Structure 1
Amino acid sequence: MIKVLIPILMFGLWSASCSDTGSSSHKLNEQKSQAKARTAAQTEAAEQVDLDLDYLMGHFDPAQHADFAKISSPYADRADMYMRKDAYEAFKSMHAAALKEGISLKIISAARNFDAQKGIWEAKWNGSRILSNGENAAKAYPLAKNRAIKIMEYSAMPGASRHHWGTDIDLNNLSDKWFLQGDGQKIYAWLVKNAGNFGFCQPYSVKNAERPHGYNEEKWHWSYMPVSNKLTTFARNYMKDKLITGFSGAETAVEIGVVEKYVLGINQQCQ
C-alpha cells in the first residue's frame, strides 16, 4: 500500500508545482504584454504633439483644445480640471494599479493656462494671497527680483509653467511634510517605485549639485514624460526669457534667467 501511495503523492506535488509555475509564468507574460502596450501608447503620444510657443506658454483654453479631456470625479478632488488625453489615459492606468495595492491617487491640480497662472502669480505678487511660509510677498520683498525669486520657490511665472502643457499634475496634497508620514509616505513611496512604469516622473526633486536651480522639491508634482520631454526640448531650443511677458513682475524674467534656471531646472531623470 505504501509503495502505491508514494508515487501518487509525488505526482500530486509535481502537478501542484507545475500549476504554480504555469500561473506565475502567465502573470509575468501578462505584465510584459501590458508594459509593451503602455510603451507603444507612450511612443504614439510623443509623436502626436503639436509644438508651438503658444501651446508651450499656455495661450489657449484647455476646455476647448482637441487634445485635452475633462478629468472625471473618481480621479480628481474637484470638477472642471483638464489634462492631455494621452497623459490622462496613462494616469488612469496608474490609478488602477495603485488601488490594487491600497494606494489612492487623487489629482488636485492639473492643466492651468496662462490666465489661470497669472491669477495665482499676481495674487502672490500683490500680497492678496499669502505665501506658504505665511509671508506677504509685497511687503516682505519690495525689490522686484527678490519678490519674484521668493514666489518661484513654489509657483511659476505665467508662460513658464509646466502646468500649461497638460502633462503635469499635482497629487493628493501640496505639502512635502504630508508625504513624510502616514498615508502620504505610503503614496510617495509607491509613486517613486512605480510611477515610471506608466511614464510619470517627479520633475522637482531635491535641490542639490545635480539640480542647483529651480523650484523647491515638490513630492506631489508628477509629469507625463512621453510628452513633457518633447516639450522640454522644444523650450530649450526656442523659449526665451524676453518672451515671458504680460503680468506684474515679468520684467525680472530676463534678469533671473527663468528659462534656464526654472523651466529647464528639473530632475535630470525627467529630461
Structure 2
Amino acid sequence: MHRLLRDMLFGLTDAHVILEPVSGQLMHPEALSAFDQLRRDARDAGFEPKVVSGFRGFERQRIIWNAKASGQRPVLDDAGRPVDLTRMSPDDIVFAILRWSALPGASRHHWGTDFDIIDAAAVGEDYQVQLTPEEVADEGVFGPFHCWLDERIAAGESRGLFRPYAEDRGGVAPERWHLSYAPRARELQDLLSEQALVDQILDCVPDQQVALSECICARMPEIYARFIAVPESAYPTNITRL
C-alpha cells in the first residue's frame, strides 16, 4: 500500500481533508460537498445541520483511548453509566471502551468521510452538545431533524450520506448523529484488514503506545468483526456518487 494512502487510512496525516468553514472541522472534500447539498435541503425544511466532529487523527484517538483505559475518562455501560474498571479484566475493559469509542487506527473519522452532526437551529449558541442517545431520540432536542433525515436516507435522497451505526449489531452502540459518505468510505474500509491494524498498533514508538495493545492484538479477529467492519448490508444501495 502506498505510504500516503496508508497514512490517510490510519489517521496519520490530514493531507486528504479540507476545512468546513462554518464549523471549523476538517472533512474529506467529497463528504463536505455531500454535506453542503444536504444542508441546503435541510434548510429548506427549517433545520440547520452543523458538523460538531469531523476528521480525527490517530494521535487524538489514541489520547481518548488511553484516557479511558487509565480511568481518566469515564467508560460507560449500555445505559450510559460509568463502569468500575478496577473490577474488570483487560479484555472486558477493551470491549467496554469499544462500545462507545473507536480503536486508534480504526476510526472512520480518520478518513474525513465520517462526521457527527446536530441541528443548530434547535438549540441556543450556549448549548453544550453531548451526543447522547437522548438528544437524538425522536422526542429529543435533535429528534425532528433526525426523523427528517431518516426519510431522506430511506428515499435515497441523502446525497450519499448514511448512518453506519444506525442499529445495534452487538458492537458499536447506535449513533444516530454519525453520518458517513458511503461511496468513499466503502472504498477505504475495503483497504483495512486485521493484520494491517495489528501492525499499525505494534509500530507505535514507546511513548505513543496504545493502551492494552497486547489484549487488542490478541483479540483482533473478534474486535474487527464486531466493532470495525461495517457490513455491506448496512451501506445504502440506492445512492449515486456526486
Q: Is residue 174 of structure 2 the alignment partner of residue 217 of structure 1?
A: yes
Q: Is the 8 A contact 2:11 2:57 kept in 1?
A: yes
1:136 and 1:126, CA in 2 relative to 1: closer, same or farther beyond 3 A?
farther
Deviations 1:79-130 (A, max 9, x none): 4x20111111110110111010012211111100100101111111111112
Partner of 1:190: 148
SS in 1 for 2:99: coil
Report the Cα distance in structure 2 between the residues aligned to 1:261 and 1:182, rounded to whole angstroms.
Answer: 28
Q: Is residue 36 of structure 2 the alignment partner of residue 92 of structure 1?
A: yes
Report the Cα distance in structure 1 between the residues aligned to 2:70 and 2:41, rounded to whole angstroms.
Answer: 43
TM-score (norm 2): 0.77
Q: Is residue 99 of structure 2 the alignment partner of residue 153 of structure 1?
A: yes
Partner of 2:165: 204
1:137 and 1:249, CA in 2 relative to 1: closer, same or farther beyond 3 A?
farther
Q: Is residue 215 of structure 2 the alignment partner of residue 252 of structure 1?
A: yes
Partner of 2:18: 69
Report the Cα distance in structure 2 between the residues aligned to 1:69 and 1:97, rounded to whole angstroms.
Answer: 22
Report the Cα distance in structure 2 between the residues aligned to 1:88 and 1:182, rounded to whole angstroms.
Answer: 26
Equivalent residues, number:
208
Q: Is residue 44 of structure 2 the alignment partner of residue 135 of structure 1?
A: no
Deviations 1:186-224 (A, max 9, x none): 1111121224420111001222xxx3x420111111100
More helix by percentage: 1
Q: Is residue 68 of structure 2 the alignment partner of residue 124 of structure 1?
A: yes
Q: Comparing both chains, which one has the higher relative contact order based on Cα–Cα distances under 8 Å and sequence gaps of 6 or more?
A: 2
Q: Is the 8 A contact 2:85 2:93 kept in 1?
A: yes
- 1:53: Cα distance to partner? 2.8
SS in 2 for 1:244: helix
Specify the code of the residue in structure 1 equivalent to 2:82: E
Q: Is the 8 A contact 2:51 2:115 kept in 1?
A: yes
Report the Cα distance in structure 2 between the residues aligned to 1:156 and 1:220, rounded to whole angstroms.
Answer: 15
Identity %: 26
- 1:254: Cα distance to partner? 2.9
1:168 and 1:134, CA in 2 relative to 1: closer, same or farther beyond 3 A?
same
Partner of 1:101: 45
1:137 and 1:124, CA in 2 relative to 1: closer, same or farther beyond 3 A?
farther
CA RMSD across the alignment: 2.3
- 1:140: Cα distance to partner? 4.5
Report the Cα distance in structure 2 between the residues aligned to 1:131 and 1:106, rounded to whole angstroms.
Answer: 27
SS in 1 for 2:143: helix
User: Which structure has the larger Rg over C-alpha atoms?
Assistant: 1
1:117 and 1:71, CA in 2 relative to 1: closer, same or farther beyond 3 A?
same
Partner of 1:176: 133
Q: Is the 8 A contact 1:108 1:170 kept in 2?
A: yes
Q: Is the 8 A contact 2:106 2:197 kept in 1?
A: no
| Unaligned segments of structure 2, at least 5 residues | 119-128, 203-208, 237-242
TM-score (norm 1): 0.70
Q: Is the 8 A contact 1:160 1:244 kept in 2?
A: no
Q: Is the 8 A contact 1:239 1:259 kept in 2?
A: no
Deviations 1:42-67 (A, max 9, x none): xxxxxxxx98332211111x2xx1x3
SS in 2 for 1:171: strand
- 1:183: Cα distance to partner? 4.0
Deviations 1:151-203 (A, max 9, x none): 11110111011110100001125111212215422111112122442011100
Specify the code of the residue in structure 2 equivalent to 1:192: D
Report the Cα distance in structure 2 between the residues aligned to 1:244 and 1:261, rounded to whole angstroms.
Answer: 18
